[in-house]
Amino acid sequence: MKKNYNLLTNYNSFLKNIIIIFFSVLSQFLYAQIDEKRQQEIQNLWNNSDKYILRDAVSSMRYAKQASILSERYGDSFNKAKSYLILGKCLLSIDMHSESLFYLDKGLKEPATADHHVLKVLFKEFKGDNYGKMGLPEQEFNEYSDILSFVPKDEKNHEYQRMLSRTYARMSANLGGRKQYDKADKYINKAIKIQEKFSDSEGEIYNIYMIKGDICLKRKVYDSAYYFFNKSYNLVRKDLEYQYMSLKSFGDYYRAIGNKSKAISFYQQALDDIIKFKIDNVSNKAELYKNLSQLSGETGNDLRKNYYSELYQKEYEKLQNKNNKDIQFAVKSILNQEKQEKKLLEKQNSTTVLSILGVFSVLSAIFYFQFIKMRRKKKELKIRFEEIVNELEERKKRQEENNLGNAGHSLSGKGEDFKISIKTNTKLISNETEKDLLSKLMSFENGTAYTEKGFTQSNLATILETNTKYLNYILKIHRNKSFNDYINGLKINFIVDKIYNHPEHLNYKISYLSEISGFSSQSRFTHIFKQEQGMSPSEFITQLSQKQNKNTTK
């Protein structure tokens, strides 16, 4: 009996151990499945982030931030570090340097980064890029030097050797930018020596050859520059988005040796690639347009020069507005996504009735504020319209009273006494010349020459029989405006007079009004009209039509 009891006890103990082992294996399997699912979810976010990095940094950042939130929730140090790296890279691409450095430093503090040389090198590289863009070349160089202090010098480890090669190349580019060409040459030669050991290094060495070629070009060793640019170009896959950099390098080479036609050809090819792959690289695009404008002017093609100059100005404005308030707001919203998620969870925990009431309250508030906003806008439009009408009537009255033309209309719609307008000058020109130019300017304002499309500073200087320097002086002193603002103001005053004094213009399309006032596009016309008059052309026409209908009814 005792023996049977012992057997039973042993069997129960064995069965208990089997069950524990089974559930332990099962829980580990389930955890592995969950972990794999989590990892796949994070990986998908990284992939999406990488897909947008060259085209839409804000969208790329949104995916990277979601990946970092998931990584923080699951407590995975490596995933957190990688997500912070991508966030730092995205923020760097839109020149938000302090935010970028915050995430890069945060990633460097992760335990996974300390034990992972590849991650650590990438963090240091992007920190260096930030300092470079911030105009701090010494701090940039120090970050790259720091990489050399911790990457093992193991010549048998290809991964470490590649990291060293890439670092030497970055140090060389940094020194080249500071015109320390001898040191730059020394480091780039080290980078090439390492890379040429590997048979599968095409994906990296093309950039190193490009840096070497650029240093040779700056040192005016043109044959060597061409040799390395050509080697770089032959290693870039023809469907790769970075091919435009090699084409741009060829343009720089041919420009340096004086072959302007070939330089133009390669710069244009580089632009074609940027457009083809929809690459969001505003600074390179602006530089290419600038180069093409200058070269076109040097080759006597003024039409192309002006064309590329306009495109350059547009890209330059984008570059200046790259870190504008809208982008900052979008980025900060993304970076504060944890708070948004908490609010979302709180809403989800509310009852259905409260949710419906909340939505109804929000919609009611939106409709109420929209209604108030519309009423306010309508009132403001009416007030502004009456101001414009009063200005028009006042101008019309002055012109009728002053048939001698001694007082031309100003951009604000108010006349100026000739003697009063002759202000104390800085002796750039004599009083007599100043009076003569102002008199001619007033005559010009009473005409319509400014409505000619493409009317330039040079055109106006020719009409006034002066130079652009004197012209800008007169406009600054007596009109308090730049040339573009001055001409745009005249055009808008011209079309406002037309609409007000000739009712048939009320039925014309906005595109036609834009055309006869000399604007290059309807959108530009609408923008300037609103800027000058405080309302859009269509709003002005609507207000004027309503006023005329009321007068007719009366």
pLDDT tens per residue across span 252-267? 999 999 999 999 999 9
- The 10s digit of each residue's pLDDT in 313-365 is 888 777 666 555 555 656 666 666 655 544 443 444 444 345 545 555 655 66
Q: Which domain holds residue 90?
A: 1-150
Cα 262 vs. chain centroid, distance in angstroms?
A: 29
Alpha-carbon separation of residue 493 from 149, 177, 258, 413, 527 (angstroms): 67, 50, 48, 8, 14
- The 10s digit of each residue's pLDDT in 507-533 is 889 999 999 999 989 999 999 999 988
Is residue 348 situated within a structural domain? no
What letter represents residue 545's amino acid? S
Residue ending a domain, among 119, 150, 181, is 150
Cα separation of 108 and 121, whole Å? 10
Are the CB atoms for 433 and 470 separated by under 8 Å? yes
249 Cβ contact list (under 8 Å, min separation 6): 210, 213, 214, 229, 232, 233
Percent of the chain with pLDDT over 70: 76
Share the mean pLDDT of the chain: 79
Percent of the chain with pLDDT over 90: 30
Would you list the DSSP string of 135-157? T-HHHHHHHHHHHHHHS---TT-
Are the CB atoms for 201 and 229 separated by under 8 Å? no
Which is more confidently placed, 71 or 187?
187
Is residue 62 situated within a structural domain? yes
Strands (E), 386-446: none
Alpha-carbon separation of residue 162 from 149, 245, 415 (angstroms): 15, 21, 72
**pLDDT for 3:** 42
Cα separation of 114 and 272, whole Å? 43
Instruction: State the Cα torsion 523-528-530-534 to the nearest 10°.
Output: 180
- The 10s digit of each residue's pLDDT in 466-507 is 999 998 999 999 999 999 999 999 999 999 988 888 888 888
Is residue 350 situated within a structural domain? no
Q: pTM to 2 decimals?
A: 0.51
**pLDDT for 420:** 36
Is residue 245 situated within a structural domain? no
Tokens of 445: 């304002």
Question: What is the CATH number for 418?
Answer: 1.10.10.60
Cα separation of 24 and 461, whole Å? 89
Select from 304, 311, 220, 227 the least CA-distant residue to 261: 304
* Beta carbons within 10 angstroms of residue 184's beta carbon: 24
Cα separation of 286 and 311, whole Å? 8
CB-based burial label for 29 (10 Å; 0-12, 13-18, 19+):
exposed
Cα separation of 380 and 326, whole Å? 26
- Work out how many domains the chain is built from and give that number: 2
Is residue 370 situated within a structural domain? no
User: For 455, what's the count of Cα atoms within 13 Å in the CB-facing half-sphere?
Assistant: 22
Is residue 489 situated within a structural domain? yes
Cα separation of 123 and 142, whole Å? 13
What is the band of 179 on the pLDDT scale with cuts at 50, 70, 90?
very high
Residue ending a domain, among 96, 117, 150, is 150
**pLDDT for 87:** 83
Where helices occur in 475-509 by DSSP H, the ranges are 483-501
Which range among 24-38, 183-197, 304-318, 409-423 shows the weakest confidence by mean pLDDT? 409-423
Is residue 122 situated within a structural domain? yes
Tokens of 33: 């499945």
**pLDDT for 14:** 55
- The 10s digit of each residue's pLDDT in 88-97 is 888 887 788 8
**pLDDT for 199:** 60
Question: What is the CATH number for 129?
Answer: 1.25.40.10
- In sequence order, what are the beta bridge partners of 415? 409
Cα separation of 232 and 244, whole Å? 12
Cα separation of 92 and 83, whole Å? 14
Instruction: State the Cα torsion 303-305-308-309 to the nearest 10°.
Output: -120
Is residue 412 situated within a structural domain? yes
Q: Strand, helix or coil at 220? A: coil
| pLDDT exceeds 90 at position 180 | yes
**pLDDT for 249:** 92
**pLDDT for 320:** 66
419 Cβ contact list (under 8 Å, min separation 6): none
Residue ending a domain, among 150, 173, 192, is 150
CB-based burial label for 217 (10 Å; 0-12, 13-18, 19+):
buried
